[in-house]
Amino acid sequence: MAIGSRYMYVLFCVIVSLTAHGIGAEKVLVVPPAISDSHWFPLASVGQALAGRGHEVTVVVSQDIVAKRRAERPDLRFESFLDQGSRARLEVMTGQMSEMAEQPVFRTMQHLHGGLKEMTRHCDLLLGDGDLMERLKQARFQVVITEPFISLCGAIVATHLGVPHVALLRGGPSGLDYQATGVPRPPSYVPSIISGFTDRMTFLQRAQNSVVSCLAQVMFQWLMKSMHYDQLRKYVGEEETLVGVLAKTDVWLYQMDPLLDLPRPSMPNMVNVGGILAREASPLPKDLELFMQSSGSAGVVVVSFGSQATTITPERAEVMAAAFAQLRQKVVWRYEGEKPAGLGKNTKIMAWLPQNDLLGHSKTRAFVTHAGSNGMFEALYHGVPMVCTPLGGDQHGNAARAVYRGLGVLLDFNTFTTETLYQAIMQVVTDKSYQETAARLSRLHRDQPQPPMERAVWWVEHVIKHGGLPHLRARAVELPWYQYYLLDVAVFLLGVCSAVLGTVWYSCLFVCRKICCKSVGKLKSQ
């Protein structure tokens, strides 16, 4: 009987622990943007980590991609809506981004405006799906996680549902996130996300950074306001603004790190989680492992342009293939398209790479990249020097700051030749300073009390636990502009100083006149 009672007690404890775990599970809604996979992966990874902790994570995606997303993330739940092909058109436009570098500014603006129109259509169809929105309301989510990079559709959904909001983003050219948090961003040492500057700028660079930051904010905010104006009025409120919606965000998870993004002002609800996708390397597939080991002491160069691999033209691919063929190292190249005629025997092309696992491999010597933030942080985590060839967006800034830290070299994607690419790769492979710097910064990046993913999950659960964190929001965003810049105080102090100085002046003048009058009277009497 004693043994039976003991087994019953153990069984009872197991049942209680499982039940308690189930009660602790909360409902999380993820609303990803309708753009490239590089923006989806961080959100999906955070959702996966939350699901691993027992939470019920639901993702809203368009009908045309829901099957692919389910296959990628079977642990997540999905809700879908018909977007009438807007997401697919946006994907094509994003893939053409590298071509915009050679186009006139007017053509680039037309391309951007067309993309924003598709984002507006995508968001309209999401918010306008009455059945979907009703299901989301009935589900009673505890938190909504979005990426308010350019489109603020997810933030509008969170406000419409009345659910606490967590933003996961790299940054944005509009500057709306900084306005919504009330944090200052001095252009004297905080470079614009689309610039190639560091925090050590010359006079001309500071002037250019100020102008670029201002113009980018004005342009993107105007475009975003026109994009979301009707949606705000219809689904949030007549008087609501984009800054007002974003100001309700409880926590901002920034995919940044002072090592690569440089120190800058922040608020208590702004948390750095740069390197959220980086992790220890997993074993490679057998055929890929054999290829890596066959490189011997020379090692391997990993080449990847992320989701923009499809944008590489055949002409550029031939230039790159010829440079890779000259290397002693083996090359693993993520490339989609017709096999280049000059492809060397040392080069293995693949439509998809286990990028993190390759960068963490002992045979990897260098990383040729477009300087997307995900790959850049994976290279930092594993201590791999880079050859940066940015294509657009924040990549020019990423590349400039990686070079500034001594992590690699910079090339212009549209103008490098076979020889200059070969020389750049050889420079980072043979010059020990790059390897040593990458290893040192990797140690610094890893030496944190919490890994970035654990920190992100902790903050999301912190928001869930307390139903929002309004005490972390700065009062700055609620102040009128003249109060924020203390213009009313300046006018008051100026008035007080003027009154005091005027009183002193007229008092002195009065005394002088009295003295002068007495002196004149004495002279006349004499």
Per residue in 213-227, pLDDT tens? 898 888 888 888 888
Mean pLDDT of 500-508: 91
The per-residue pLDDT for 15 is 40
Per residue in 454-497, pLDDT tens? 999 999 999 999 999 999 998 888 888 889 889 999 999 999 99
**Least trusted range by pLDDT, from 51-60, 254-263, 351-360, 513-522:** 513-522
The per-residue pLDDT for 92 is 72
The per-residue pLDDT for 216 is 86
Residue showing tokens 């809604």? 29
Per residue in 101-135, pLDDT tens? 555 655 666 667 777 888 889 899 999 999 999 99
Let me know: does 362 contact 68? Beta carbons within 8 Å. no
Cα separation, 454 vs 358, whole angstroms: 23
The per-residue pLDDT for 211 is 92
The per-residue pLDDT for 353 is 92
State phi, psi for 244 to the nearest 5 degrees.
-65, -40
The per-residue pLDDT for 292 is 96
The per-residue pLDDT for 99 is 56
Cα separation, 348 vs 290, whole angstroms: 12
The per-residue pLDDT for 286 is 94
Distances (CA, A) of 374 to 39, 41, 155, 276, 303: 9, 9, 23, 8, 14
Q: Which amino acid is at 13?
A: C
The per-residue pLDDT for 108 is 64
Give residue 302's pLDDT band: very low, low, confident or very high (50, 70, 90). Answer: very high
Task: Name the pTM for this structure.
Answer: 0.87
The per-residue pLDDT for 12 is 46
* Residue 157 scores a pLDDT above 50: yes
Kind of pairing between the strands at 300-304 and 165-169: unpaired
Per residue in 53-96, pLDDT tens? 999 999 999 999 999 999 999 999 999 999 888 888 877 766 65
Comparing C-alpha atoms, which of 34, 135, 38, 164 is closest to residue 86? Answer: 34
Cβ count within 10 A of residue 487: 12
Average pLDDT, the chain: 88
Could you give the angle at the alpha carbon of 71 between the alpha carbons of 70 and 74, nearest 5°? 60
Burial class (CB in 10 A: 0-12, 13-18, 19+), 323: buried
* Residue 17 scores a pLDDT above 50: no
Per residue in 408-435, pLDDT tens? 999 999 899 999 999 999 999 999 999 9
* Residue 299 scores a pLDDT above 90: yes
State phi, psi for 277 to the nearest 5 degrees.
-95, -15
* Residue 241 scores a pLDDT above 70: yes
